[in-house]
Amino acid sequence: MTSKTKQTKEKDTKRDDSSAAASQISMPALTSLLEEHRQSISTALSADLRLAFASLEAKLDTVQATVTDFGERIASLETNANLTERRIQALEVPCSTLAEACAKI
pLDDT, tens digit, 9 for 90 and up, residues 42-75? 999 999 999 999 999 999 999 999 999 999 999 9
Q: What is the pLDDT of residue 57?
A: 96
* C-alpha distances out from residue 69 to 57, 66, 84, Å: 18, 5, 23
Q: What does the alpha-carbon distance between residue 93 and residue 99 come to, in Å, rounded to a whole number?
A: 10
Q: How far is CA 52 from the centre of its chain?
A: 6
Q: What is the pLDDT of residue 90?
A: 94
In a domain, 13, yes or no: no
Q: Where are the alpha helices (DSSP H) in 1-105?
A: 2-24, 27-104
- In this predicted structure, the answer to whether residue 34 has a pLDDT above a threshold of 60 is yes
Q: How far apart are the first and last CA of the chain?
A: 129
Q: What does the alpha-carbon distance between residue 5 and residue 13 come to, in Å, rounded to a whole number?
A: 12
pTM for the full model?
0.50
In a domain, 87, yes or no: yes
State which residues form the domain around 59. 29-104
In a domain, 19, yes or no: no
